[in-house]
A and B are shown apart, each in its own frame.
Chain A
Amino acid sequence: MDPNEVVADVDETLARYSDLLFGTAITVYVLAMFLFLWALGSARIRRIQSAEAQQLVGATSGRATSGSAPGGGPDLNKPGKLETAPRQPFSEKLAAMAYPVVIVGVLAHLASIVTRGVATDRAPWGNMYEFISLTCVACVIAGIVVLRKAEHRPLLSFVLLPVSLLMFIAGRWLYTQAAPVVPALKSYWLAIHVSVISIASGVLLVAGVASILYLIKMRWGAPGDSADQQRTGRTAALRRIVDAIPGAEILDRLAYKSVVFGFPLFGLGVILGAIWAESAWGRFWGWDPKETVSFIAWVIYAAYLHARATVGWKHTAAAWVNVAGFVALLFNLFIINLVVSGLHSYAGL
């Protein structure tokens, strides 16, 4: 045998199990997403029923006072008057059911990552497919932690939506056979730098989702405006789902908490990357496209934290900044890897 050739030592069976588990994870995530959405939707129905009940009560006392505030202005956030027995509502039952489903998805996902690592005998985040997989599992776990309160759990559907989308893209178009990595990636820094960056990205994606929901809520979620309730068609349906999303203030706080965790972690990842680059590429910082966009994302998140401490920028503007950070992260993941070539582009993506 040629002394310059080495055998790719990959456990094919285990790698196949990893792929199966990846597919299982996507399926379970999608299932959980629909369960949560259903939970949100049925919470909406219950509220409308109670609102109608209130309107009936109000009608006896004369409802022709004003079109905009009928029935003395039913408070949609309070339980309806005809609701007698305080039994657990259907929506909460659904959400309670969906939560363990997500956990099952995470377990399958983690198992997929671990088996791939064992199959290839290296840190299982050496190409874009694997990186997205790790980022997604970090994102879901961060979502589970951040949205652990029972009343916030249905929001996980909005975390699972981009996650299953990303995982589908990764599995469909970016899939790479389990194989050893190129020499540049044969370093313990792969295990450290990439995992930290990936987990930080996952956490920051949750923050981005929270801010997007916040903006939607601020824009379309005007509470108690019952004129909108009468609208029909798609607008009304969307609006009812928006109404079912918890309060804007909660979303704002969730976004902030995630950034407070994700931002230093992302900074740590960049610093670790710089240490690696110093021994791999001859300099600790060289404005490689990936480095540049990481810098941009870092500056945007720094701006987000500053915006929150600045009068006039606190709420909607800060949320937009967070969304810009979200876009920068996705841009760094896709456009920089797939379109712009740089030192971070390795064979097989």
Chain B
Amino acid sequence: MSTPTLTPPTRPAGRPAAPHWLLRRVLWPLRNLWRSLTSMRTALVLLFLLALAAIPGALLPQRELNEQKTLEYIDNHGAVGEWMDRLQLFDVFSSVWFTAVYVLLFVSLVGCLTPRMIEHAKSLRATPVAVPRNLGRLPRHKTFTVDGTPEQIAERVSGRLGMWRRSTTERTLSGGTAVVEISAEKGYLREFGNLVFHVSLLGILVAIALGKVYGYEGTRSLIADGEQGLCNTSTAVYDSFRAGSLVDGTDLSPFCFKVDDFSATFLPNGQPSMYKAEVSYTENLADGVPTDWQHTAIKVNEPLRVAGDRVYVLGNGYAPTFSITFPNGEKRTQTVLFIPEEMATMLSSGAARFDTPAGLYPDEDERRNNQIALQGIFAPTAEFTGTGGTLLQSASPTPKKPAVAIDVYKGDTGLDTGRPQNVYQLDSDLMHQGRLKREARVNLEQGQSHTLADGTIVSFDGYKRWVSVQVSHDPAQNWVLVFAVAMLAGLLVSLLVRRRRLWVRMVEVADTADPEKRRTVVEIAGLARTDQAGWGEGFSDQAAALVDGADGARRRIRGL
């Protein structure tokens, strides 16, 4: 031992020194821990844990995918639900325990790969293992006696092992007998492919992580009228925005777009056939003014790719237009987004809030108590059912006969409170408190209107289409693909390439009949070095073909 601190210079003779406590208590346990962590058995256990840990992610609602459903689930399960939430069962893939499993798995992977890569690099330069003394002990073994000197045979055999790495040694035994030995090995690519596979897995993980850190995703609902646009210059333009930890919103890819038109086609049974949004976009934002608009269409499987970002149209609906004519004759018009309730008929629901015109009610309290709010449903193809034919249903998702069924409220819509409200629903607390009173319940077809007791006219003017768009940015996703393809290629190579060793010993013998004729005893042995290489019946034929002098023999060694 070279370190003086660990080995005392004087020690009692005959008794080995006890190792330093630092070795025993710290280094060895650490080394053992590392060894067991990087062992195949641990990797296996971690793989199972990974599979097991992912199961709740498939069976339980996940916050990442559907926040609403998750909250409902927690509510329905009371204390159990809350405990499940505390255990991060609704955020499986960002949970502490899932992260722990895959981090450990990748640490184990690195610990396993590093020595293997060094070993592989060494083996690439090493010469094949020398011929064993007793070839007859190997499971696949064959002996032939053929015409020719050992050198001639060796040349032939060597020539036929074209793709193999091989080394030939010649020596002479004490009796003057010439012996030539060939060691050959092939299948180095198998280990290489295996390493590529595992390194690519690491690459995928790193690329995904980078994508998460530098990526962002914003969603926004836009009216498809060619006016309302979106410029990806600030996070404030989005209804919701999710970003990686290194995105501060100042460095978004600059582009603008607007939805000019949206069309949905349906089969007669109501099944959607195709969605198509006509959009204009530009990357030219000189001085903050978008110019050079270009036009294209976004369809379900065809997002717009612009400035390194992708723009998707993920949802759509109807936005009815309502006008309120106040008693003083002033008119307010709004087009409000309604949320589809039934996808097959596009029966949609929503709400609208109208403030009173300035000056109509000088008193602040009076003004607040005369605001108008609407809430109800929209049917693209109206069908009235129920008693008296007043219940509005939709017969088709296409706008053949648009109509609304709305409740008209008067009072405090809550616009002034500053409290965030659900855009698609009126605040039921305000109704219960009597601050918002229902004035009427009416069915209106396009162009129809209804007059309230105080002379206010509510009219349903028509509708527009709206779409929800998602803007996504992931700078590393192409790298994920590159590593995924490399992973697959490495996997294929590592599964299909066979590692084999072949040894040939050629010993000169005298022909008993004709002493002048040169004969050689050829011993061939093979060793399959991979799991399930299945080098079975073919070996004898292949070995025979290796030494066969006929020209056509080369073809028969295929599969060796």
Contact = CB atoms under 8 A, between A and B. Distances in A.
A287 B271 contact: no
Nearest to B55: A296
Interface stretch (B9-17, B454-462, B487-495): B487-495
B474 to A, nearest CB: 8
Among A2, A257, A308, A313, chain B packs the most CB atoms within 10 A around the CB of A2
Contact of B495 (A253, A264, A299): A264
A305 to B, nearest CB: 8
Contacts of B75: none
Contacts of B302: 279
Q: How large is the interface on A (under 10, 10 to 19, 20 to 34, 35 or more residues)?
A: 35 or more
A186 B472 contact: no
B327 interface: no
Contacts of A186: 274, 300-301
Among B267, B268, B400, chain A packs the most CB atoms within 10 A around the CB of B267
B398 A4 contact: yes
Nearest to A271: B484
Contact of A5 (B265, B299, B472, B485): B265
Chain B facing A: main interface SS: mixed
Contacts of B272: 182-183
A303 B44 contact: yes
A288 B47 contact: no
Interface in A84-120: none
Nearest to B398: A4
A310 B491 contact: no
A116 B10 CA distance: 89
A281 B488 CA distance: 24
Interface string A298-310: 0110110111111
Given A6-B267, A180-B267, A303 B51 contact: yes
A302 B300 contact: no
Contacts of A275: 481
B484 A5 contact: no
A169 B272 CA distance: 27
B281 to A, nearest CB: 17
Contacts, number: 147
A184 interface: yes
Contact of A264 (B64, B269, B492): B492
A10 B165 CA distance: 60
Given A184-B301, A271-B485, A296-B55, A287 B93 contact: yes
Contacts of B310: 278-279, 282
Contacts of B266: 4-6
Interface string A266-288: 01100100111011111111111
B503 interface: no
B47 A187 contact: no
A179 interface: yes
Nearest to A313: B44
B488 A271 contact: yes
Contacts of B398: 2, 4-5
Contacts of B62: 287
Contact of B400 (A2, A189, A253, A282): A2
Contacts of A2: 398, 400
A147 interface: no
Contacts of A264: 488, 491-492, 495
B531 A309 contact: yes
Contacts of A214: none
A302 to B, nearest CB: 6
Contacts of B217: 282-283
B217 to A, nearest CB: 7
A303 B48 contact: yes
B257 interface: no
Given A5-B265, A264-B495, A279 B303 contact: yes
A274 B208 CA distance: 13
A347 B272 CA distance: 10
Interface string A303-321: 1011111101100000000
A340 interface: yes
A268 B271 contact: no
Given A179-B271, A287-B57, A300-B51, A189 B301 contact: yes
A5 B48 contact: no
Given A296-B51, A306-B43, A183 B65 contact: no
A253 B275 CA distance: 50
Given A187-B301, A264-B488, A299-B47, A283 B472 contact: yes
A336 interface: yes
Contact of B57 (A183, A189, A292): A292
Contacts of B400: 2
A237 B59 CA distance: 40
Nearest to B301: A187
Contacts of B474: 283-284
Given A264-B488, A264-B495, A296-B58, A280 B300 contact: yes
A150 interface: no
Interface in B426-459: none
B387 interface: no
Interface in A331-346: 336, 340, 342
Interface of A: 2, 4-8, 179-180, 182-184, 186-187, 189, 253, 256-257, 260, 263-264, 267-268, 271, 274-276, 278-289, 292-293, 295-296, 299-300, 302-303, 305-310, 312-313, 328, 336, 340, 342, 347
The 8 closest A-B pairs by CB, nearest first: A4-B398, A292-B58, A187-B301, A303-B47, A183-B300, A299-B51, A289-B58, A282-B312
Interface of B: 40-41, 43-44, 47-48, 50-51, 54-55, 57-59, 62, 64-65, 92-93, 208, 217, 263-269, 271-275, 299-303, 310, 312, 314, 398-400, 470, 472, 474, 477, 480-481, 484-485, 487-488, 491-492, 495-496, 531-532, 534
18 contacts: A4-B263, A179-B267, A180-B271, A189-B301, A268-B488, A271-B481, A271-B484, A278-B310, A282-B312, A282-B314, A283-B217, A284-B481, A287-B62, A292-B58, A302-B47, A306-B44, A310-B40, A310-B41
